[in-house]
Amino acid sequence: MALSPVIGKLLHKRVVLASASPRRREILSQAGLRFEVVPSRFKETLDKASFPAPYAYAMETAKQKALEVAARMYQKDLRAPDVVIGADTIVTVGGLILEKPVDKQDAYRMLSMLNGKEHSVFTGVAIIHCCSKGGQLDTDVCQFHEETTVRFSRLSEELLWEYIDSGEPMDKAGGYGIQALGGMLVEYVHGDFLNVVGFPLNHFCKKLVELYYPPGRHDVRRVKHDSIPAVDTFEDLSDVEGGGSDPAGGIEGGPGGQAAAGTRGAEANGAVESPPPFPADLLGLIDGFKASKALFTACKLKVFDVLKDEAPLKAAEVAGRIDASVCGTGRLLDACVALGLLEKTDGGYRNTEVASRHLASDGEYSLHGLVTRHDDHTWELFTRLEVAVRQGPNAAAGGKVEDPAQSQQTMLQFMRAMHGLSKLTARRVATAFDLSRFTSACDLGGCTGALAHELAHEYPRMRVTVFDLPDVLEHVACFQPGGRPSERISFVPGDFFKDSLPEAELYVLSRILHDWPDDQVHALLGRLSGRCKPGGGVLVAEETVDEDPAAARSNLAAALSLLVRPRGRGRSGAEYRDLLEQHGFRDVQVAAAAGGALHLLLGTRASPP
């Protein structure tokens, strides 16, 4: 392919490179391209986990870089450049995306992950054609990506640190520059070498051919659009408003890329449409169950316990401790690395801080019990989701309301799940409002007493009663600090629908009301209203399902649980407030806790009229 005519198509256009990379500048300059450099100010904060593949993340970052520069230049002088080129290079290994290291230790972490291994280098490229239309910036995006496979030799610690101390890794994706000292680390390269340097020149030129030398008329039917010049007249674009260019008819053939508008596929009315945006978020949802099951399995096999006690460990060592196959264990560990739950180094695998704190079974804030509950119970319910939608939530539960106390094992599992969840939120619930005026509280359905302990700790004058079913309280001793409750905390067995409620100035309902239908919620609040003296209060903590779509998304777990919950129903924050006011509680205060996951309400019992 003769490159000069291809690059020549851009010689009379104002071309901008939206990158400060000296390597990209050198590659394009040596190819004969004339351009100016305007580094992008786009903050690279895209959520990597929301993209189905690393190249999709690189392409989107490249596009956002180029669009930011185009918009900024247009705002500055009301005339955009003709073409803006954006690029983003990433290194991936074991499903992890490695960008530029933040410090020497981060560079060591990255290079250790690459040491002796094969990895992929992706560069996403966006070619943005700009013009002014109707006094506004109009852009046409062409995207593609290139992948190159690189293998590092097995390197000593001394050599790694010598390279890091040279300073070269600090501004390079993956922590190395193949065109300089980093080339000594590389055993082989499969693919475009310049792609590893920072810009896939060959693929870029091929893309220009597609844009400026499209197939003949007998191959592709072209439709002239009012707002976009036809390819046939692309050479005569000097009359386009603002001097911009817009290459209709460009074809994006790269995997995962977007086609330029008006090039492929014709509808019955003769219009030509470009492919829709890549549905990265949707694909993430489709694959989401796989990530959950990998997490559940690792918890069930006590992987995080093993790596909390001994780390780093090789896959074979972990397999021996959990009595599993080496191959299967290795793949599970790599999946956990990709999920950000484990770290992989030359010495083996180790927990992240989050995994040790929340996924090992013995931590103070462990969610291991919650994970196990979801794996053994909730997962099965959701496999019958279609039945629940068609026939009602009772059908998902086998046609009957599940009783958590049907066996000691099920009960303990349920209590561990609730204890872990309560430990995470108890301090926030206890301190959301000033409760110091209350000297006694009763936590209805308080289970292991996690919230009761926080209330007693936060308010030294307060005595707290935990009121729950006898089968629950039978097992609470193993959840108490030191094996026994505080002197200011007591556990009283009973059914809050049937038995006499303990006397208290404050009644607490934490994650209780959502489990019950309206008639039983009114019955319970009626009992509280009759028991609570004027000036007393009720504290409600619930996940809400609000009518506002944004709020509903933030409480997705609550919304999904409603699909398989046999008896309860979701309520909005406003509904909970109305419920309290209907039963004589006034001056209702509202707060949020746990990052908005919990909706808190504190109502005061009014004096009778």
DSSP letters for 452-493: HHHHHHH-TT-EEEEEE-HHHHTTGGGGSGGGS--TTEEEEE
Of 143, 41, 128, nearest to 84 by C-alpha is: 128
Residue with tokens 């094992």: 409
> Which residue carries 């489990």 as its tokens?
515
Strand ordering across the sheet containing 506-510: 489-493, 463-468, 440-444, 506-510, 537-542, 598-605, 585-593
User: What's the rounded Cα separation, in Å, for the pair 569 and 435?
Assistant: 29
Backbone phi, psi, residue 393, to 5°: -55, -30
Closest Cα partner for 210 from 242, 247, 166? 247
Rounded Cα–Cα distance for residues 177 and 23 (Å): 10
The amino acid at 490 = S
Question: Is the sign of the CA dihedral 526, 582, 511, 381 positive or negative?
Answer: positive
Closest by CA to 348, choosing from 315, 383, 390, is 315
C-alpha span between 160 and 177 (Å, rounded): 13
Q: Which residues make Cβ contacts (< 8 Å) with residue 126, sequence separation at least 6?
A: 59, 62, 63, 65, 66, 67, 85, 86, 87, 141, 142, 143
Active site positions, annotated: 88
Q: How far apart are CA 420 and CA 450, in angstroms?
A: 9
The total number of residues written for the chain in this structure: 609
For residue 145, what is the DSSP state?
E
Q: Which residue has the tokens 């083996």?
A: 348
How far is residue 413's CA from residue 375's CA, in Å, rounded to a whole number? 11
Return the residue matching tokens 């999709």: 56
Nearest C-alpha neighbor of 73 from the set 120, 18, 6, 21:
18
Distance (Å, rounded) from C-alpha 84 to C-alpha 17? 6
DSSP H/E element including 89 = strand 83-93
Q: Using the 8-state DSSP alphabet, how is residue 374 labeled? A: I
Q: 468-490 b/e with 16+ CB inside 10 Å = b?
A: bbeebbebbeebbeeeebbebbb
**How far is the CA of 598 from the CAs of 108, 554, 590, in angstroms?**
40, 10, 11
The CA-CA-CA angle for residues 413, 414, 416, to 5°, reads 65
- Among candidates 513, 503, 491, which has minimal Cα distance to 447? 491
174 in Cβ contact with 121 (< 8 Å): yes
